[in-house]
Structure 1
Amino acid sequence: MSARTTLRWVGAGALALALGISADASAATLAVDDDKLDCPSAPFASVQAAVDAASPGDVIAICPGTYEEGPATIPAGGANAVSIAKMLTIRGAGASKVTIRPKPAITSLLGTTTNYRNTVGSVIGVYRAGVRTLVDISGVTVEGGTTTVGSAVKFYNAEGSLTGSVIRNVAPLNGPYGYGVVIASNLVADRLPVRVAGTSISGYAKAGVVLDSTQLAPALGILAATITGNTITGAGAQVQTPQQGVLATGLATGSITGNAITNNLGAGDRVSAGVRLVDLDLVPAAGTTTTKLTATGNNLVGNGYGVVNETGAGADAALPFTATGNWWGNAAGPSIGLPKTLGDPVNGAAVTFSGFRTTAITAPATPAAITDAPPTGEIDPPTASKIVVPGTTYTLRASAGDDFGVRSVSFAVGGTTIGSDAVAPYAIDWTPSAALAGQTLPLTVTITDSAGQTTATPLSLALTVLAPTVTPTATATATPTPTATATPTATATATVSATVEPTPTPVAIAAPAPTPSIAAEAKPQAPKKVTLAVKAATGRKLTVSGALTLPAGVSCPAAGTVSVSITLGRKVIKTAKAKLGVGCAYTVTATLPRTAGGRKVTVNSRFLTAGTLLARSAPERTVTVKR
């Protein structure tokens, strides 16, 4: 059974807890925390370990921390610090909170033949390994540190996005390669969209963003890149190396728009440019006069050239590149070649710059903010009736979930904090005192996520502490003896007599019946938990087995039922029940619907008696159903 988590512990009544983590309801979320301080329940401390354990479509949620990644030994062919060759979502808690870089002991990730078009040499390498690869990365800072790298992030023959992130300290200016983001391909007739947005890119040696596509592909283009809302900042005046904000070559299509591309200077103005195009496919898009790749609505300021469009031999390209609606640093537009007399130069008729802006665009805010939803959860009542008995110990439980990770869950009764738990399943023991008898008190739960946020709506329920039963004392009541009364003498012959009523036997008044005790419901000697194992048999049949874990000296309950729930995404697709057998064990076999074939399901079990929940499995299990 692999170490997987859905960032929540599902308890009774919480099977449909919606976390809003992924559009795919069946996707699992694997949490990563380098030191287990922000997300103590995270099963992984390494991004690569989580990627290796994930299935296509899963989410990797990275909690705050610094992640030094990479293999212990770099082969001659090179390696990545983090390699991804499956469809995943990588969600960092924010670029100011999550940093990914190579291990300091790694001197170089480069292989002997490192270039744009290979699967190695990057801090994060996303590449295709026989099947379609689409990876969305957000909320991280990526840097090279002291390691020689080809690029910070590379998409090679892959699709996806990089948003709300920071690329910095990629490589020294005189180092080999050292690109910020590389989007490259050598595939034929396979369109690959990649989006870079809301990201700050700096500290690169050669170029901030590279768009590179083989010339062997059909003329419709191979890359469909969207580079938007980024700040791409070169090193400024220096003589070590030429720099380009964006370098594009081959059959790249798409748009470069809304970016602030500045300070790309260096050894030679013409080869240091905000946007440099080398042997780009410049045939206009069908039915238009614009090129398939365009640069519009950007700030192109403080670069050696604003835009250079040339052949591989360094001559001006015969067809012009579309670069309209940009701000060139001067209300009169760009300079035409050197010397620079107006705004950033262009190389003459090789660039169409008409309709330029006379004022700058508002610089994009980078990195773009990452949405971090507050945690969610619910309380499991300690008893079905929500009535508790003084002197009896109860386990207070809550389910909790978050789109990144839960830091802690605290419990309070009547405004007094009882304690907190940092690791799922979230629970703490509590014994109501005799002083609370007869009171109704709120049980409140506060869930705190890795960002320090708490639940948007307070979690609370009322508990009643049972008052002590008072048995009235029985009292005997006797009828008093009446006083004898003499009748006055009427005649001399009359007889005077007195009549006395006999004294009745005292009758005892029965005491009222005492209030029924709920000690049976409290179950102070209830089972501790239910163990759980899942075996995928042939077809869609699952065998679920386990046993009750009992306190010392407690016998197996004579009655009660184990209820097994099987969940696909957020929907319970199968329930099954079983009685306990020898050794307090149980076994349930369930055949799942066809929709479950080949997908992951979550299995959990609960032990109930007379409708009262006594124990549950912890943790739940996830298994892939065979087709």
Structure 2
Amino acid sequence: MTQRRNHLKTPYVLTTALTTALIAGLAAAPAPAFAAPRSHTVRPGASIQAAVDAASPGDTVVLTRGTYRESVLITKALTLRGAGPQTVLAPAQTRSRAVHSCAKAGNGICVTGTEGAALTGVSVRSLTLRGFRVNGLWASRTDRLSVRGVRAEENGVWGIAQQRSTRSSLRGNTVRENGDAGIFVANAVDAEGGATDTGGTVIADNRATGNRIGVTVRRVRNLSVRGNVVTGNCAGMFIVGDESRPAAGAMTVRDNTVDRNNAFCPATARLPVLQGSGIVLTGSEATVIRGNRIRDNAGTGPMSGGVVLFKSFVGAANTDNVVERNDVRGNSRADLVDGGGGTGNRFTGNDCSTSQPAGLC
């Protein structure tokens, strides 16, 4: 028995000794060096792009108050943070031969990934984008983009816009007097195709005023539009689809204030006259419009009214949408308009006075 116990004890002693030596060796080895995120401060007159190019992933580029006459291209994960509305990016007064693609396209800030690798983890916050020929902020092929406290105003097309992107958070921004939509989220602007899944993009707590359309979501699914104040535009919100599959929709539009969107916008090649539209659905499915305040949107156009289901211009009907528990009053042509010709749409529990056809209130 003694011999057996010794035989069993020997491997244990050896293993313990080896383990102790290994631990001691690891403790003595130097820890791997990881570069801590750094902050790069830029002041008016210096180049934001130079600071962005010099930054490492995870760094923060801080802009002090003042006006910066340039466009910025972001292709790495970093934070670009201003000091509030007094930090202003505006178009360059003279065109440089070395200008990058974002400036050439007429945009203020561009956040761009690639077809094979979405750019993840960019944050843009607390600054103003004013007067760019096309878009204030343009994002393409991104994931988890965060845009907060940005003021995008007087830009030629869109204030804050993105395509081919997932899990974005667009919160607490002000978009005003942009040529088309204040906030625009789409599957793709350069190709046709069915709606894409945004992975839960959130458009929340923004203020949109003086735009052609306050908020447009086009050919996308799985997102939330909530808590926004949308007023003084030609149209409040557009939920846009077409005949492609999968159809646009499967989203929630809730707890928004959409009132007095009564500016007049003439017809374009894509859309008729816009005036007095609250929330318009064209070619959407399984979208929930719930708990919104939609008041005093008045016009005589084909899309005028509080909540309007409108058959898309390529013939796609609205199906299986739910319009419930909204405060919808003082709108014309009517508070609720079901003109889409689709099936399965439900109007329940709304506080409203008029509808087309009658009986929806």
Q: TM-score range by the shorter chain?
A: 0.5 to 0.7
1:460-507 deviation line (CA, Å, top 9, x unaligned): xxxxxxxxxxxxxxxxxxxxxxxxxxxxxxxxxxxxxxxxxxxxxxxx
**183, 199, 216: which one pairs with 2:162?**
183
Alpha-carbon distance in 2 for matches of 1:123, 1:53: 19
Which residue number in structure 2 is paired with residue 192 of structure 1?
166
SS at structure 2 position matched to 1:49: helix
Is it true that 1:31 corresponds to 2:16 in the alignment?
no
Alpha-carbon distance in 1 for matches of 2:172, 2:135: 19
1:81-106 deviation line (CA, Å, top 9, x unaligned): 211100011111112x2001111224
Alpha-carbon distance in 2 for matches of 1:157, 1:318: 24
**184, 197, 201: which one pairs with 1:221?**
197
Alpha-carbon distance in 1 for matches of 2:187, 2:303: 33
Distance 1:53 1:339, change over 3 A: closer
SS at structure 2 position matched to 1:51: helix
Distance 1:335 1:150, change over 3 A: closer
Higher relative contact order (CA 8 A, sep 6+): 1
Which amino acid letter does the alignment assign opposite residue 306 of structure 2? D
SS at structure 2 position matched to 1:122: coil
Which amino acid letter does the alignment assign opposite residue 113 of structure 2? R
The answer (yes or no) to whether the contact 2:187–2:196 under 8 Å persists in 1 is no
Which residue number in structure 2 is paired with residue 294 of structure 1?
252
**354, 369, 373: which one pairs with 2:324?**
354
Which residue number in structure 1 is paired with residue 84 of structure 2?
94
SS at structure 2 position matched to 1:256: strand
Alpha-carbon distance in 2 for matches of 1:88, 1:141: 18
SS at structure 2 position matched to 1:279: coil
Q: Which has the larger radius of gyration?
A: 1
Alpha-carbon distance in 2 for matches of 1:325, 1:263: 20
Q: CA deviation at 1:58?
A: 0.8
Distance 1:220 1:298, change over 3 A: same
SS at structure 1 position matched to 2:94: coil
The answer (yes or no) to whether the contact 1:335–1:344 under 8 Å persists in 2 is no
Q: CA deviation at 1:218?
A: 8.5
Alpha-carbon distance in 2 for matches of 1:230, 1:58: 26
Q: CA deviation at 1:346?
A: 1.4
Alpha-carbon distance in 2 for matches of 1:46, 1:280: 46
Q: CA deviation at 1:137?
A: 0.6
Which amino acid letter does the alignment assign opposite residue 93 of structure 2? P
Cα RMSD (Å): 3.7
Distance 1:31 1:318, change over 3 A: closer
1:516-545 deviation line (CA, Å, top 9, x unaligned): xxxxxxxxxxxxxxxxxxxxxxxxxxxxxx
SS at structure 1 position matched to 2:52: helix
Which amino acid letter does the alignment assign opposite residue 126 of structure 2? G
**143, 147, 156: which one pairs with 1:162?**
147
Aligned residues: 267
Q: TM-score, normalised by structure 1?
A: 0.38
| Unmatched segments (≥5 aa) in structure 1 | 1-23, 36-44, 70-80, 172-177, 186-190, 236-242, 266-271, 286-290, 311-316, 360-627
Alpha-carbon distance in 2 for matches of 1:111, 1:88: 19
The answer (yes or no) to whether the contact 2:194–2:245 under 8 Å persists in 1 is no
1:101-138 deviation line (CA, Å, top 9, x unaligned): 1112249xx999x9xxxx94311000014644231011
SS at structure 2 position matched to 1:193: coil
Distance 1:57 1:339, change over 3 A: closer
Distance 1:106 1:256, change over 3 A: farther
Q: CA deviation at 1:219?
A: 7.0
Which amino acid letter does the alignment assign opposite residue 105 of structure 1? T
The answer (yes or no) to whether the contact 1:167–1:180 under 8 Å persists in 2 is yes
Which amino acid letter does the alignment assign opposite residue 75 of structure 2? A
SS at structure 2 position matched to 1:48: helix
**131, 134, 152: which one pairs with 1:150?**
134
The answer (yes or no) to whether the contact 2:200–2:222 under 8 Å persists in 1 is yes
Is it true that 1:141 corresponds to 2:114 in the alignment?
no
Q: CA deviation at 1:345?
A: 4.2
Alpha-carbon distance in 1 for matches of 2:301, 2:286: 15
Distance 1:256 1:106, change over 3 A: farther
Judging by fraction of residues, say which structure has more helix.
2
Alpha-carbon distance in 2 for matches of 1:90, 1:111: 18
Q: TM-score, normalised by structure 2?
A: 0.64
Alpha-carbon distance in 2 for matches of 1:88, 1:200: 22
Which amino acid letter does the alignment assign opposite residue 91 of structure 2? P
Q: CA deviation at 1:339?
A: 9.2
Distance 1:339 1:105, change over 3 A: closer
SS at structure 2 position matched to 1:205: coil
Identity %: 26
Q: CA deviation at 1:264?
A: 2.2
SS at structure 2 position matched to 1:151: coil
Which residue number in structure 1 is paired with residue 347 of structure 2?
none
Q: CA deviation at 1:217?
A: 8.0
Alpha-carbon distance in 1 for matches of 2:58, 2:293: 41
Q: CA deviation at 1:206?
A: 1.0
1:129-177 deviation line (CA, Å, top 9, x unaligned): 4644231011101112xx5x22100111013111012111213xxxxxx
Q: Counterparts of 1:460-609 in structure 2 under 5 Å?
A: none
Which amino acid letter does the alignment assign opposite residue 86 of structure 1? K
Q: CA deviation at 1:248?
A: 1.7
The answer (yes or no) to whether the contact 1:250–1:280 under 8 Å persists in 2 is no
The runs of at least 4 aligned residues of structure 1 exceeding 4 Å deviation read 214-220, 280-285, 333-340
Which residue number in structure 1 is paired with residue 241 of structure 2?
278
